[in-house]
Structure 1
Amino acid sequence: MQAATDPRQTGQITDTSLCHGWAGLLLTTERIAADAARLDLREALPALRDRLTAETQHHPAPEHAGLLTGPAGVLPTLHTLTTARPVDPEWETCLLLQPMKAM
């Protein structure tokens, strides 16, 4: 939980990337929250979404950016977590993340 909410830890995030940035923290936190009994993880999600959106607007992507380091990873993350009809979550398999399937 503290990795998503502690300013000392989130203050070390320097970009929006999927690999080690805000998109990765948001997607990982959302997937863990979906499978956890702890409500505090779900409560942290709106602030993480807002931060990712703000950071995306204020900091341009690096010139040589790809899926893990640029908008190619940020955009699917935002789309997956904010639309009524998200993209197929299978794209997350390369990150070893995948939403739980209903049994």
Structure 2
Amino acid sequence: MIDWARVSELRDEVGDEAFEEVTELFLEEVEEVLIKFEAGQSASWEEDFHFLKSSALNMGFTEVAQLCQDGELRARQGGAGASEAAAVVASFRASRVAFEQGPHA
């Protein structure tokens, strides 16, 4: 669900203070997209899945990133939408809890 090695690597790259800022920005930006997903609406499923995939990979949210990659590929083929988005939302919510609890929870 969470790639803790990636989280540690990112923290080392940017430092503790900047890591907190990056995390806060990540959570805020993802929430904006998830609100659209929860409503079953997106102006561009492919772009939204791509954005979330990239952000999730950077923060170590591997399960979310994989689901977004699947959604992005389906959207490119004209098939992705609300059902894929619901899976991403559920995974993100669970991943966020795990992330906030830390690697030793």
Given the two structures, how large is their TM-score scaled by the length of structure 2?
Answer: 0.36
Provide TM-score, normalisation by structure 1.
0.37
Higher relative contact order (CA 8 A, sep 6+): 2
Answer 1 or 2: which has greater helix percent: 2
